[in-house]
């Protein structure tokens, strides 16, 4: 196994516990692995996929369906009132924090917002691995 595959495997494992995620990413062409990762997270139900002009209402609808957020039973209704998506993401991240979760945005298309809820202790490793693999992931600022 090359270091590149090892890095992709580690990234997949940090983002979600779906056993089908890493094999799907490995099977993709090297230049399509990021898209395979995002598609695999979406297929697993672990991705909140929004558009840049969405508001807190759409975010508050999307996040509770994510497995980690669902299992924690987190009330995200305060996010509904935010008109700006970035402000809503920051508010939601603050609500998730006491539950040991944080949001990570996986950069894709300029008008897309692909979010995954991860254990907070994984955030730095996810961001660093994505960068090492030539892609961008970041936590809310």
Ranges of each domain in the chain: 3-138
* CA–CA dist 126, 41 (Å, integer): 14
State the pTM of this model: 0.93
Rounded CA-CA distance 7/70 in Å is 28
pLDDT score recorded for residue 105: 96
Torsion of CA 101, 105, 111, 112, to 10 degrees: -70
What's residue 3's pLDDT? 57
Mean pLDDT by 10 residues, the chain (141 residues): 80 96 94 95 95 95 95 94 95 97 93 94 97 94 66
**59 CB-near residues (< 8 Å, 6+ apart):** 48, 50, 76, 79, 82, 85, 88, 89, 92
């Amino acid at each position: 196994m090359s270091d590149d595959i090892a890095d992709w495997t580690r990234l997949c494992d940090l983002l979600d516990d779906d056993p089908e995620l890493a094999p799907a990413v490995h099977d993709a062409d090297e230049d399509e692995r990021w898209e395979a990762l995002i598609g695999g997270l979406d297929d697993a139900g672990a991705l909140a996929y929004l558009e840049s002009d969405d508001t807190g209402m759409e975010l508050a609808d999307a996040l509770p369906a994510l497995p980690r957020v669902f299992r924690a039973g987190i009330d995200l209704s305060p996010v509904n009132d935010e008109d700006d998506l970035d402000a809503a993401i920051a508010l939601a991240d603050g609500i998730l924090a006491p539950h040991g979760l944080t949001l990570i945005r996986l950069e894709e298309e300029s008008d897309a917002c692909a979010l995954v809820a991860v254990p907070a202790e994984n955030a730095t490793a996810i961001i660093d691995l994505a960068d090492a693999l030539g892609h961008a992931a970041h936590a809310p600022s």
